Amino acid sequence: MPISPRKLASLPRSQRLRKIAKMFGKAEMTFHNSGIWGIPLDDIASALKLLALDPEFSAETAPAVSAAIDAALQEAYYASRLAEARGGDRSSEALRRGINAVRHALLAETGQSRADWDFLDPENKLNGAKRRVFPNRRVFLEDIRSPFNIGSLFRTAESFGVEKILLSPLAADPLHRRAQRTAMGCIDIVPWERMSLESLEALSRQTPVFALETGGVDPQAFDFPANGVMIVGSEELGVSPGALAVADSSRARVSIPTYGAKGSLNVSSAFAIAMYAWSVQTPPPPP
């Protein structure tokens, strides 16, 4: 049961902000799933009015919060009147964005940090049959230790049509809950298996293999194979000497040029750039 505006007003500030953020999150979720808010628009408007009277937002966030509240309040009023005329509570994209902005401002104000999986994802129910796959295009993840990175790599691989992911024996488990949450469903639809370096070496006698590693060729100049295996090395040590030997005897290395003091990218970022370059140079088969 939604909490009444009077009850909301009586709560301590931090608790009130958390309650409103939770209420708006529920409203967004029901709207996301069905196009209907699921919470009376008048209740949303009342909560927004309470926020508009709050004098304690920090100087840095107050202007943005105030603008978001004003926009959402205006849209909530408009949507409420429109609902009365149409006999339902379907409403505008502007209201959805306004409520979303206010909700995240409240979460920040109460010290709640967000992770990627906390956001509403319009593609959280994936249909593997819709994938456009590059036949025999695979990725070998060698000793990737972080479940977060495993999940991110799966998500990128799915987006760029990788047929299968091969994981070294010491790579993190794709079924780890952190990997699953970061991948947002992609681990369920991208086939994967464990593979030893010896098996990868044997595979390299049948298909091109190259490594994503420093000391190689810029993606714009690299000769990507139409099909093959990209080796992606660990966060700490990169691609192992043994795996580099396999790559160098086949299709060598591709490297992402950087210009900062760090000199390297997070493995997930580098992989995304390399996968994009691969897909541009050798486009996918027609749907």
* Mean pLDDT comparison of 44-53, 61-70, 158-167, highest-scoring range: 158-167
Confidence of residue 63 (pLDDT cuts 50, 70, 90): confident
Contact 168, 197 (CB under 8 A): yes
Query: Pairing between strand 164-167 and 137-141?
Result: parallel
User: What architecture is the 128-281 domain classified under in CATH?
Assistant: 3-Layer(aba) Sandwich (3.40)
| pLDDT of 90 | 44
Task: Tell me the mean pLDDT in the region 102-128.
Answer: 71
Closest residue by Cα to residue 197 from 214, 211, 180:
211
| pLDDT of 9 | 87
pLDDT in tens, 205-247: 999 999 999 899 999 999 999 999 999 999 989 999 999 999 9
Distance CA 92, CA 230 (A): 45
Closest residue by Cα to residue 31 from 41, 21, 16:
41
| pLDDT of 80 | 58
Q: Is the pLDDT of residue 197 over 50?
A: yes
Q: Where are the domains of the chain?
A: 5-114, 128-281
pLDDT in tens, 172-190: 999 999 999 899 889 999 9
Distance CA 158, CA 185 (A): 10
Quote the mean pLDDT of the chain.
85
